[in-house]
Structure 1
């Protein structure tokens, strides 16, 4: 018992001495770190060269979202967006009855709505707010939907039909000169054709007592089409085998062409639309039992090859001059950067053009954060009415791929994703607006890993999660652009990094770093 107690006390004393010794060392080391001040925190501003780059005709087939309508922008000009698409059978080789007769044909394409602003009153009536509508809220247009006579191929003849066939924004004439017959949306209701507008009112089928509840449908393009044409072109074509498969059908029917024009002196606007959600519903009597007069439906989907067709007009002189190749300064940069989607323009950005990268590499800096901030030049905007792009996309232009910082761990939606990487329109403290990109890892790689100092590209984007590319019809100093930039028609004017720009607005690379003393 004595020996056990003795050894226990010895062990306890040793343990206390050991921990006291450790605690003493810890405090000594900690005091050196905190009180020694071996590091300084600072910020370095590196000059940036950025200049304009015009984007002409660009690949625009099979976009997930497409602009449609007429958008008049007082800073850039007018964009008219038409659309062509194939049509497919929901059910191939249908059995329609003995003598089917068309009763009605209705085309529906849903609009994008802001679900967060949908209001339902006590009676169940819903009030909607449309999303992604640009231009005058009261805008109206002449809308014509034609049967297309131009066949949209999936495979191209250039490489002996081994590769995908591309279509481009400037090919509207291929479809406008190949329409079949008169327009299909020939209703007496002018809001379906000559005075069409994007109606924010939804649709409701009233409740029937003890039978059914009310059915609500969100806002959509809803057009009544000519039933005689569909009787002949669709229903009667079953007997000749034109609907036996979708391959046969798409080569026969070819598709639809959507055309917009000015409607008198009415203002205009443009909507972002997903045409692949479109459906043509043909309601017909099957003719099997005339006494019962039973109605049936057949569906055609707007699925297959499709192309967004953009026409630019009334280009504003300042924009035309700034993006003219003879006026672009690739050495010192441009003072105003015009960034516009579609057939528009982008900015080319070059970092460390003054040779300061080599000097930074010798200083042993620890890079904490690096930001590239583009300020909106509101003094060059002709009006505050024109909406600014909600999102820009900065990428590796040399290799046409995202920067390393793009993989920031966040996803979310197509408009709100990649929040750490940035690029969202942000309001500053001085009532100005800016777009900020955090490119910390890109700068670290340039300094610490001798990565290639590539050119960067800045574009408008409709979908920050879409990083695929679209080919230019005619290659210039660039050969392709991000596909999501072709989808969005908006534009903005930014300050460049030239000496004439005020320091608070100048484009600069801000590097926050820690340096050893």
Structure 2
């Protein structure tokens, strides 16, 4: 983020330098560059070699949210998202009183949403981070797989769980958690939630007033609320106050290892929700008698869906796309198309300034691309440098909505993961297909020319969240080349795209490095 802020202030810095030096042009050229009144700005294209690599499973236990559902990408196929989460207890050593009766057990998980208006006391909302509107079915199981906080082989490092954890969790899962219909409590308990789609409706909680009338007691932002069959939770918690596993939060996490949310099927494309576990709870509502205090006292006990968690993905990547990604890996020449897909999908790799053929003492390579070495021999000021990534719209021929295209891509240094810049999808109009992403490299190229930093291989990926800081590890990836991690915003992203590469059949859309510069002398 520090580097991103640095590049973000680049424009101000360049303008200040130019207006402070009498020998430099007073206005920059082009749209961004202004008017080149002295005809001093040189525009030059430089070679770029770009190609794609398929990714192994990626780390998911460091996500800020979890995903549940299915997403059907028009290019990269259908992906199913399950997750596992630990539960934590707020209170240890609690006394539940005598003659305990559990009235209800409610699981609540908020959606990400924002208010769009208010009428009287009612608030309308729009859901964020929900994709698709067709139903899914899912079950919740008791999890028997222990999620460590630290790496068992190195307790000084945090544990890492990857997107391929699903089969391991599924093989040893416990019993299914049962649900009940609060509106029809006489109906049998059931194990599968069917025809589920997230609702943007305000959630109303009701209570009985002093006149025994049902009134609205609380208004909550959109969330899903499921009534759990109470006897399981009564036996586990309320009737076991002396159990050792209720003595501390760590004891409880070790005994009851959390919940496993598993999508069982979907209708059509289904839907995918990013869920906010920060405020997610299981609340046990019970009444009991407290000797010498009160009889029939209403209380509740809260379990938080906090602690360790991991998202598990199953991507049905079409075989044709797998082959195209594999064929596009050509470090020597680059590729016609670039493939980007979030999660354990694909990223593209970029080498700037072409090959290194000469410059060494023996007449061979010297470790610096020849075009870069030639540019360094001139005393220049970089006015602007950018990469334009044109979208290959033929890849989206089967897309039913322009919203499937990722809004942002991220350019970063592959070795140290420093952020170079990002590009936002440009369209001719809001309802039209994406045209291109433009990523500024002005500060990066200036630093390379001055020797402040060394040139390195770059990575380009989609990103779900530009503000997400950090990286997600890639599991044991050495082929087709070593890739140790990707930006966390790419790991959590579900979308994908295809871009024109440096060998595109359309010369106007080929990827190239454009540099606008001024010769100082």
Q: TM-score range by the shorter chain?
A: 0.7 to 0.9
Per-residue CA deviations over 1:179-231 (Å, capped at 9, x if unaligned) read 22223335469998022211121212469999987632111021111211101
- Cα 1:52–1:148 change in 2 (3 A) is same
In the alignment, structure 2 segments of 5+ residues that lack a partner are 1-20, 27-36, 182-186, 356-369
Say whether residues 1:506 and 2:496 are aligned partners.
no
Residue 32 of structure 1: how far off its partner (Å): 12
- Cα 1:208–1:511 change in 2 (3 A) is farther
Deviates more, 1:83-92 or 1:214-223: 214-223
2:448 matched residue in structure 1: 446
1:106 matched residue in structure 2: 106
Q: What's the secondary structure of 2:102's corresponding residue? A: strand
1:365 matched residue in structure 2: 380
Match of 2:392 among 377, 386, 390: 377
Q: What does 1:316-395 align with in structure 2 at a 5 Å threshold?
A: 316-324=318-326, 326-354=327-355, 355-381=370-396, 382-385=398-401, 387-395=404-412
Per-residue CA deviations over 1:98-128 (Å, capped at 9, x if unaligned) read 232211110111101133xx1223x433332
2:310 matched residue in structure 1: 307
Match of 2:491 among 466, 486, 491: 486
| Distance in 2, Cα, partners of 1:143 & 1:499 | 43
Residue 152 of structure 1: how far off its partner (Å): 1.0
Q: What does 1:214-233 align with in structure 2 at a 5 Å threshold?
A: 215-233=218-236
| Distance in 1, Cα, partners of 2:210 & 2:288 | 29
Q: What does 1:107-506 align with in structure 2 at a 5 Å threshold?
A: 107-115=107-115, 118-121=116-119, 123-135=120-132, 137=133, 139-159=134-154, 161-187=155-181, 193-205=193-205, 215-263=218-266, 265-288=267-290, 292-313=295-316, 315-324=317-326, 326-354=327-355, 355-381=370-396, 382-385=398-401, 387-403=404-420, 421-428=421-428, 432-449=434-451, 451-476=453-478, 477-498=482-503, 500-503=505-508, 505-506=509-510
| Distance in 1, Cα, partners of 2:216 & 2:74 | 48
Q: What's the secondary structure of 1:228's corresponding residue? A: helix
Per-residue CA deviations over 1:341-393 (Å, capped at 9, x if unaligned) read 11111111111015321121123221011112212111221324251112221
1:414 matched residue in structure 2: none
> TM-score scaled by structure 2?
0.82
| Distance in 2, Cα, partners of 1:426 & 1:502 | 20
Q: Quick check: which has more Rg, 1 or 2?
A: 1
Residue 300 of structure 1: how far off its partner (Å): 0.6
User: Residue 402 of structure 1 contacts residue 467 of structure 1 at CA under 8 Å; is this kept in 2?
Assistant: no
User: Residue 461 of structure 1 contacts residue 484 of structure 1 at CA under 8 Å; is this kept in 2?
Assistant: yes
Per-residue CA deviations over 1:242-282 (Å, capped at 9, x if unaligned) read 2111011110111111111214x444010112223211111
| Distance in 1, Cα, partners of 2:485 & 2:47 | 27
User: Residue 335 of structure 1 contacts residue 501 of structure 1 at CA under 8 Å; is this kept in 2?
Assistant: no
| Distance in 2, Cα, partners of 1:95 & 1:207 | 26
- Cα 1:432–1:182 change in 2 (3 A) is closer
Per-residue CA deviations over 1:394-418 (Å, capped at 9, x if unaligned) read 1100222223xxxxxxxxxxxxxxx
Task: Report the RMSD for the aligned CA atoms in angstroms.
Answer: 2.8
In the alignment, structure 1 segments of 5+ residues that lack a partner are 1-28, 404-420
| Distance in 2, Cα, partners of 1:338 & 1:226 | 46
Residue 38 of structure 1: how far off its partner (Å): 7.4
| Distance in 2, Cα, partners of 1:437 & 1:277 | 36
User: Residue 328 of structure 2 contacts residue 334 of structure 2 at CA under 8 Å; is this kept in 1?
Assistant: no
Pick the structure with more strand per residue: 2
Say whether residues 1:44 and 2:44 are aligned partners.
yes
2:31 matched residue in structure 1: none
Q: What's the secondary structure of 2:243's corresponding residue? A: coil
- Cα 1:106–1:30 change in 2 (3 A) is closer
> TM-score scaled by structure 1?
0.82
| Distance in 1, Cα, partners of 2:130 & 2:84 | 20
